[in-house]
Each structure stands twice: as structure tokens, then as C-alpha cells.
């Protein structure tokens, strides 16, 4: 039976298929998946809340990963993004309404 062996493209040393970096020369063998660590998740959620439309881009990176945990993290980040967008639009609507009311009051004062 043939064993599938991956080799580092740089120094041609045999590496494990699960490795992201060559242990011999440090060459990057394949893209490192986005982190699902607590810090990785927190960073993603904060980004989602603070910069809503762009949070989606990071969330999609997580959704593309082939494991359930990353996908869940991606979905949660998208939910955070949507909540943040909804809150922003409500705040903006209130702000515009207040502005309208104030302008109308001012106009009334001047007898318009
Ligand atoms: Zn190498």
C-alpha cells in the first residue's frame, strides 16, 4: 500500500499532511486557517460589531473552512454584524427624527 507523503517544496523534507509549516525550514506549506481560539473569536466579533459591513468578509473566511467550529464562529459573527447594522440604522433614524423635530420647532418659533 502506498503511503501518501507530502513534501516541503523548498527543502523536500517529508512533512505531515496536517502541518502548516515545514519543521525543517519553516516554509509555509498551506494557508493557516483563521483561528477559532478565544482571542481569534473575540477579535472577529469585535470587528463585526464595530465595522459591520467589513465584518462579513472575515466571517466568510470562517464559513469557508471545512470544520464545524469555524462555520459556527462565522455564523455567529454574521449575526453580530446584522444586529450591529440594525442598531446603527435605528440610532440613525432617531437622530434624523430628532433633527427634523428641532428644525420644525425652530421654524415654528419664527412663525413659518
Ligand atoms: Zn522545508
pLDDT tens digit sequence for 7-22: 999 999 999 988 899 9
User: How many H helices and E strands in the chain?
Assistant: 3, 2
Q: What is the DSSP letter of 19?
A: -
Backbone angles phi, psi at 86, to 5 degrees: -65, -45
Angle between helix 38-50 and 52-64 (nearest 10): 140
pLDDT at residue 27, as a whole number: 92
CA of 71 from ligand 1 middle (Å) equals: 31
Does residue 44 contact residue 62 with C-beta atoms inside 8 Å? yes
User: Is the CB of residue 20 less than 8 Å from the CB of residue 8?
Assistant: no
- Whole-number Å distance, alpha carbon 18 to ligand 1 midpoint, is 14
| 35 CA → ligand 1 middle, Å | 23
A 10 A CB-CB count for 75 gives 13
- CA 33 / ligand 1 centre spacing (Å): 20
Question: Looking at residue 78, what is its pLDDT?
Answer: 93
Please, what is the average pLDDT of the chain?
89
Distance from Cα 20 to the centre of ligand 1, integer Å:
11
C-alpha 3 to ligand 1 mean position (Å): 19
Cα–ligand 1 centroid distance for 26 (angstroms) = 6
How far is it, in rounded angstroms, from Cα 24 to Cα 60? Answer: 33
Euclidean distance between CA atoms 89 and 57, whole angstroms: 20
pTM score above 0.85: no
Amino acid at each position: 500500500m502506498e503511503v501518501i507523503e507530502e513534501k516541503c517544496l523548498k527543502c523536500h523534507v517529508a512533512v505531515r499532511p496536517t502541518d502548516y509549516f515545514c519543521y525543517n525550514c519553516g516554509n509555509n506549506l498551506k494557508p493557516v486557517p483563521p483561528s477559532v481560539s478565544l482571542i481569534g473569536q473575540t477579535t472577529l466579533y469585535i470587528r463585526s460589531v464595530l465595522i459591520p459591513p467589513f465584518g462579513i468578509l472575515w466571517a466568510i473566511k470562517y464559513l469557508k473552512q471545512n470544520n464545524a467550529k469555524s462555520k459556527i464562529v462565522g455564523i455567529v459573527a454574521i449575526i453580530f454584524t446584522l444586529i450591529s447594522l440594525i442598531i446603527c440604522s435605528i440610532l440613525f433614524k432617531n437622530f434624523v427624527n430628532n433633527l427634523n423635530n428641532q428644525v420644525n420647532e425652530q421654524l415654528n418659533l419664527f412663525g413659518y
